[in-house]
Amino acid sequence: MDLFEAMRGRRSCRDFLPAPVSDEVIDKILEAATWAPSPLNTQPWEFFVITNRQIREKIFTEADRCRLWAFEKSGWKWLDSYDVDFVKEAPAMIAVVGDPKKTGVDMFMEEGNMGYQAACAAAIQNMHLAAYSFGLGSLWFTLFDKKAIREILGIEDTKVPLALVCLGQRASDIREVPRRPVKDKTQYLR
Amino acid sequence: MDLFEAMRGRRSCRDFLPAPVSDEVIDKILEAATWAPSPLNTQPWEFFVITNRQIREKIFTEADRCRLWAFEKSGWKWLDSYDVDFVKEAPAMIAVVGDPKKTGVDMFMEEGNMGYQAACAAAIQNMHLAAYSFGLGSLWFTLFDKKAIREILGIEDTKVPLALVCLGQRASDIREVPRRPVKDKTQYLR
């Protein structure tokens, strides 16, 4: 698939069909992730590929709990009725886990280890683009408590579950979400 | 260009030719950035396109100062002789600036506003892929003090310069930096 077609066509999908995603496609999506750049080529990512139904149900329960918590905390009305069923309905989910020790010079800076997160985010973007090129819908999901996800997946305390990437065939069309034009976002210093 | 060719072929470039990058190509790279996903479609990015030589020199001076600071702080020998001349030699540089207020539910969470950074990182990855498809080298550069870059570019205190993306034609070939195989990084929960 053409690069620009993928970047432009990718949408956040929240409605999946139950058809499984093949291991071959999952592995190509993960390989795409690993070609992202990282500070000093530390490759600070690890992946948990979750197709097990019980684990997906547990993650759903946690996501729904977190949604209610966030609703109470924020008062954002949409969170009251926001349906996170896609968390259990997506046939596959990839947890992207970052290792804060695998980072660059940022570890000496004020905000502390951040580069590993940027690298993992670049890897996740590659995953979305790859998924789209295989005709799959995907979602970058972060509405969870890190401690709870660590416990469910058996992740050590020193590592950080940064995102769950939900994957599967789209159950419905997704409208294009508009972007502000580049010129509204850009200053040119010539 | 094919998506996988771009993801696989992109390299971090630290050796640029002086030939300018056209406005048209810059704008296509920026448009690619804006198609990244963001929390609640907040599009938390802004861009400063820097081709002005004096500003590039100022940024170089800051990067080199930061390199020496990091060398002293870390004791990492490579930083002593690490040549950041590419910062002034790249004919164009795009500062990607994030707005921490434009983020999602993460603003109520323990680590605070982080989603905007992930979105900007995804946008930066799109920029690298787009640049590569136009035959350009690019670099994700973060060796700078945020306060100093704010001052040089006139960025308000509430916004965060997250990266400088150096852009230009490659002056030399870049060897492929190997990746650990996916299987070493992945657990399957079936």
Alpha helices in B10-114 (DSSP H): 23-34, 53-74, 77-81, 86-89
B25: left (phi > 0), else alpha (psi -120 to 50), else beta?
alpha
Q: A34 to chain B, minimum CA–CA distance in Å?
A: 7
Instruction: Identify any residues that bridge with A93 across adjacent strands, giving them in sequence order.
Output: A50, A166
Instruction: Identify any residues that bridge with B131 across adjacent strands, giving them in sequence order.
Output: none
CB contacts < 8 A (A, B): 194
Cβ–Cβ of B35/A105 closer than 8 Å?
Answer: no
The mean pLDDT of chain A is 97
Q: Which of A180-184, B31-35, B91-95, B112-116 has the lowest mean pLDDT?
A: B112-116
* Residue A10 to residue B46: CA distance in whole angstroms: 21
Cβ–Cβ of A118/B124 closer than 8 Å?
Answer: yes
Q: How far apart are the first and last CA of chain A?
A: 35
Q: How is residue A22 written in tokens?
A: 């093949």
Q: A129 to chain B, minimum CA–CA distance in Å?
A: 8
* Residue B71 to residue B50: CA distance in whole angstroms: 27
All residues of chain A having their beta carbon less than 8 Å from the beta carbon of residue B186 are: 30, 46-49
Domains located in chain A, CATH noted: 3-184 (3.40.109.10)
Instruction: Identify any residues that bridge with A97 across adjacent strands, giving them in sequence order.
Output: A46, A161
* Residue B188 to residue A189: CA distance in whole angstroms: 48
CA distances for A189 relative to A108, A125, B54, B118, angstroms: 30, 28, 10, 26
Q: What is the pLDDT of residues A74-128, one digit of tens each?
A: 999 999 999 999 999 999 999 999 999 999 999 998 888 899 999 999 999 999 9
All residues of chain B having their beta carbon less than 8 Å from the beta carbon of residue A110 are: 146
Residues 6+ away with beta carbon under 8 Å from A181 = none
* Residue B66 to residue B68: CA distance in whole angstroms: 5
All residues of chain A having their beta carbon less than 8 Å from the beta carbon of residue B51 are: 188-190
Residue A46 is inside which H or E element, if any?
strand A45-50
pLDDT tops 90 at residue B156:
yes
Residues 6+ away with beta carbon under 8 Å from B25 = B134, B136
Average the pLDDT over B53-66 and give the result. Answer: 98
Indicate if ipTM > 0.90: yes
All residues of chain A having their beta carbon less than 8 Å from the beta carbon of residue B129 are: 3, 7, 129
Report pLDDT for A110: 81
All residues of chain B having their beta carbon less than 8 Å from the beta carbon of residue A32 are: 4, 7
Cβ–Cβ of A2/B6 closer than 8 Å?
Answer: no
Instruction: For residue A145, give the chain B residue with the closest CA.
Output: B109
pTM of the predicted structure, to 2 decimals:
0.98
Cβ–Cβ of A185/B6 closer than 8 Å?
Answer: no
* Residue B48 to residue B156: CA distance in whole angstroms: 13
All residues of chain A having their beta carbon less than 8 Å from the beta carbon of residue B117 are: 114, 117-118, 121
Burial class of residue A69 (count of CB atoms within 10 Å of its CB; 0-12, 13-18, 19+): middle
Q: What is the pLDDT of residues A62-82, one digit of tens each?
A: 999 999 999 999 999 999 999
Q: A79 to chain B, minimum CA–CA distance in Å?
A: 10
